[in-house]
Structure 1
Amino acid sequence: MDLAPLLAAGVPLLGWTAHSTFLARRLTTARRDPLTGLLTRDGFTARAERLIRRHPERTTVLLIDLDDFKAVNDTHGHAAGDAVLAATAQRLAAWCGTDGIAARLGGDEFAAVVLDAEHRVPALRGQLMHPVGFGTELLPIRASVGTSHPATLLLTEALSAADRQMYADKPGARTARRR
């Protein structure tokens, strides 16, 4: 039996399979924040929209922003800031559990879409207020949390509503939007 035709077809197929696997892994990695392990905005959006479409009446959209986070970096250094971000991500992911999706959108801003969570939001606020250990110090943190229930199936509208509520929750309750 002549193996040349099988090898001629099999080798490229093996190469394409390896390349596809490599690209899939790279894409998965690109959709995860390397510091926190949470989804990035791109990885979060598709999954969150799917969850909202499947369960619009049970979905809560949250936006979380760490208050005065810049002061942590300026006072204690970026390693301390990284510790605060990682602890926040861990607390948010644990709170979401298997009923939700958590993401780090960028900087000190996080988001989540969770099923049947409205009554659990106060517990999340409390968890996010616990100081974060860094070396021999306990770093005080405060987080503002905004929630919304998607009246439509659009994630962007739900995030905008949560953003408005989050800024109303901030210390001093500034009414002006950032940026």
Structure 2
Amino acid sequence: MASTVRVHGPCGQRALILTSLAVPLTGWAVHAVSLHRKLAAAHRKLADRRDPLTGLLGRNGYTAKARQITGRYGHHALVAMVDLDHFKQINDGQPGGHAAGDRVLAVTAQRLTAWAGSHGAVGRLGGDEFAVTVRIGAGRREPRLAQLAALLAQPVQLDDGVWVDVSASIGAACPDVIGTTDLSALQRAADAAMYAGKHTGRPVLADRSHATVPSINGRRAGRPGTDILGAAA
């Protein structure tokens, strides 16, 4: 026997209307949740994307991990900006050309990773520019930065057996000195400190004056890679 659905009176009609509306709304809700999950997964995949040459975290992945470190360790965190000195001469002046530069970048990445340890964040921001965020107590900052400078100044052996002299400029900033755990502010101060010690082989630990240097996107105004539109390399 065929079943029959009866609707009695206005109340029954309203219930039927609400039910008919709820079905597509439920479908859209499920679709929205699914879309949100897919977008979140895509975002995580983007954040985890690594630089193909060095294997280091890209800008997004580094930023996410660095913020976790500064948020968790506060005044015991240290943010460092690192530029290789005279890198263009290595790229242009060696027989291997860009292959020589690539080798130096890869070795630098290995050294930074070894120095930072498994709990640190190391990223390649672009070109020969790197950033590191680690947990280091106040009493160990200067000796650890000196250790990093010495490590990065060791010659690099190229694939053809030739040794290349390298060095790096290093600037660092700490929340207790700068007065904030904001990663952009710390990177801005570290970048200014790095520029203050450019080509000296001496790491510079930022003070409050470095935090006031004009910047674009957290980078010292006027350095390569910044422009009036606010883009940074």
TM-score category of the 2 structures, normalised to the smaller one: 0.7 to 0.9
- Is 2:81 the partner of 1:56? no
Q: CA RMSD in A?
A: 2.5
Deviations 1:132-154, CA, capped at 9 Å, x for gaps: 00112101111000000022121
Structure 2 equivalent of residue 126 of structure 1 = 150
Structure 2 equivalent of residue 170 of structure 1 = 198
Match of 2:103 among 70, 73, 83: 83
Structure 1 equivalent of residue 130 of structure 2 = 110
Equivalent residue letter for 1:162: A
Q: Is the 8 A contact 2:108 2:152 kept in 1?
A: yes
Equivalent residue letter for 1:178: R
Structure 1 equivalent of residue 167 of structure 2 = 142
**Number of residues paired by the alignment?**
158
- Is 2:65 the partner of 1:47? yes
Equivalent residue letter for 1:158: L
- Is 2:125 the partner of 1:101? no
Identify which of structures 1 and 2 has the higher relative contact order when contacts are C-alpha pairs closer than 8 Å and 6+ apart: 1
CA distance in 2 between partners of 1:144 and 1:125 (Å) = 8
The Cα of 1:47 is off from its aligned counterpart by 1.0
- The runs of 5 or more residues in structure 2 that have no matched partner are 1-33, 202-212, 214-220, 225-233
The Cα of 1:177 is off from its aligned counterpart by 4.4
Equivalent residue letter for 1:147: A
Structure 1 residues 29, 108: CA separation in 2 closer, same or farther (over 3 Å shift)? same
Pick the structure with more strand per residue: 1
Structure 1 residues 78, 52: CA separation in 2 closer, same or farther (over 3 Å shift)? same
CA distance in 2 between partners of 1:55 and 1:30 (Å) = 22
Equivalent residue letter for 1:125: A
Greater shift in the superposed pair: 98-107 or 29-38: 29-38
Larger of the two Rg values belongs to structure? 2
The Cα of 1:131 is off from its aligned counterpart by 0.7
The Cα of 1:100 is off from its aligned counterpart by 1.1
Deviations 1:108-162, CA, capped at 9 Å, x for gaps: 0000001016131100100000010011210111100000002212101000100
User: SS of the counterpart of 2:117?
Assistant: helix
Q: Is the 8 A contact 1:167 1:177 kept in 2?
A: no
Pick the structure with more helix per residue: 1
The normalised TM-score by structure 2 is 0.62
